[in-house]
Structure 1
Amino acid sequence: MLQLRHLSKSYTNGRPVLADLSWHFKAGEFVAIMGDSGVGKSTLLNLIAGLDTPDAGPQAEAAPILVDGIAMSGLDDAAATRLRRERMGFIFQAFHVLPHLTLLQNVALPLLLNGLPQQRASAMLAAVGLGGRDNDFPHQLSGGEMQRVAIARALVHQPALVLADEPTGNLDPDTAHSILTLLRAEIKSTGACAIMVTHSQAAAEMADKVLILTKSGIQETTLVN
């Protein structure tokens, strides 16, 4: 579903943040990525989404990121935007919930942009514990509730690839567990791939596979209780 091929990224001052990463993420797989702060986990998600560009150069792979066989580097801005809109779902640390839209309108936005029926939006709000609040606005919510809206919006159009940056960071343990159970169920039912960056071992334990990102690369690990 997603291939990283000798992916590298440096900061503008030339300091490397990611170096020569290669990995194959499969459809239907829920993968957690852990690692120290500043090691490049969020940068990796931005690169996969095409929101940032990998390093180029004589040693770089011509197509370091492939989504369903499509080289992200070969897409112009319009094509990359279309691929993100149709094939990806995003859960950001900062929520990015639109304040002037109701909760229902926020969740329905991916359906509207993709020309899909919007009935599923209300069901997704209910699935994340916000049933009956379709017409509320984001200013009426706590941080944890806004995170749940963001999660519902990311899943509503049944994307092939879900990218989640600390999706349970603002949730209490019980809500976090229920949200991750929903995320896992959605992935398994649709055959999507989900990549979740997290510092939480409890969250990582919900994944099929846990990868550790370090300055030396990426490798699979087994969590120890």
Structure 2
Amino acid sequence: MLDLISVTKTYNGRAVLAALSHHFPSGQFVAIMGESGVGKSTLLNLIAGLDTPDSGQVVVDGTPVSALGDDAATRLRRSRMGFVFQAFHVLPHLTLQQNVALPLLLNGLDAGAALRMLEKVGLGGRGGDFPRQLSGGEMQRVAIARALVHKPALVLADEPTGNLDPDTAAGILDLLRAEIKASGAAAIMVTHSHAAAEKADKTFVLTRSGLTLASVVR
């Protein structure tokens, strides 16, 4: 589903990622850990086509992302990827239904699926509410619903529970895992939390030497 092929990225003469290669199959939930500055966020940006490698290729669902122009990369992100962020990025002036419906509208899909997705994440009947009426955990549920509603092939999560208390974080990760498994998407979560990583199928540690398998949890 996702292939990294000898991906190298250098900043100010320093190789952040050096000839990184790995295959991530569909249906697998992977956590990536590592020290600050090792390149975890850079890796997510390269996968999403928000940045380009100095050499090598990022291939998503058969499409070489790093070879796409800006417009084509935007279309690929819109149709084939879903994003869950630490800071939620739920739009405050839109209702929950409108927030979740955004990927559907951008892809010309039936916006009615937004309400069904809210029901699946435990927010049924609240489509008319606004983000200001929600707790942090509820806003992250909206973010998960928005990331998954258009059935992306790849889900990218950047510290998705960093702003949540441990109990809420555990529930959010269980929900994220269940929805990813139900949709058959590949998912990559960058996290500093060992508790979060334990929810993944596999955990890798990113170092200057590449990705090292830390554990197989499930």
TM-score norm. by structure 1 comes to 0.89
| Runs (5+) with no aligned partner, structure 1 | none
Aligned to 1:40: 39
Aligned to 2:21: 22
Aligned to 1:200: 193
Partner amino acid for 2:137? G
User: Secondary structure at 1:21's aligned position in 2?
Assistant: strand
Aligned to 1:100: 93
Aligned to 1:128: 121
The CA distance in 2 between the partners of 1:96 and 1:102, in whole Å, is 13
Give the share of equivalent positions with the same residue, in percent. Answer: 74
Output the aligned Cα RMSD. 1.8
Aligned to 2:206: 213
The CA distance in 2 between the partners of 1:200 and 1:76, in whole Å, is 35
User: Secondary structure at 2:155's aligned position in 1?
Assistant: strand
Q: 1:129 to 1:171 in 2, by over 3 A?
A: farther
The CA distance in 1 between the partners of 2:14 and 2:84, in whole Å, is 27
TM-score norm. by structure 2 comes to 0.92
Contact kept? 1:8, 1:54, Cα under 8 Å: yes
The CA distance in 1 between the partners of 2:117 and 2:34, in whole Å, is 31
The CA distance in 2 between the partners of 1:100 and 1:181, in whole Å, is 28
Q: C-alpha deviations, 1:137-168, integer Å up to 9, x for none?
A: 22333443322221111011111100000111
Deviation at 1:15, TM superposition (A): 2.4
The CA distance in 2 between the partners of 1:170 and 1:71, in whole Å, is 33
Q: C-alpha deviations, 1:47-90, integer Å up to 9, x for none?
A: 100011111xxxx33xx111122111221222111111111000
Contact kept? 2:140, 2:172, Cα under 8 Å: no
Residue 4 (structure 2) pairs with residue 4 (structure 1): yes
Contact kept? 2:7, 2:17, Cα under 8 Å: yes
Partner amino acid for 1:139? R
The CA distance in 2 between the partners of 1:79 and 1:86, in whole Å, is 11
Deviation at 1:110, TM superposition (A): 0.6
Contact kept? 2:117, 2:149, Cα under 8 Å: yes
Higher strand share: 2
The CA distance in 1 between the partners of 2:89 and 2:136, in whole Å, is 12
| Runs (5+) with no aligned partner, structure 2 | none
User: Secondary structure at 1:95's aligned position in 2?
Assistant: coil
Contact kept? 2:7, 2:20, Cα under 8 Å: yes
Q: C-alpha deviations, 1:100-121, integer Å up to 9, x for none?
A: 2111100111111111112221
- Runs of 4+ aligned structure 1 residues displaced above 6 Å come to none
Deviation at 1:223, TM superposition (A): 7.4
The CA distance in 2 between the partners of 1:95 and 1:183, in whole Å, is 14
User: Secondary structure at 1:3's aligned position in 2?
Assistant: strand
Deviation at 1:219, TM superposition (A): 1.0
The CA distance in 2 between the partners of 1:143 and 1:108, in whole Å, is 20
Residue 59 (structure 2) pairs with residue 66 (structure 1): yes
The CA distance in 2 between the partners of 1:89 and 1:131, in whole Å, is 21
Contact kept? 2:202, 2:216, Cα under 8 Å: no
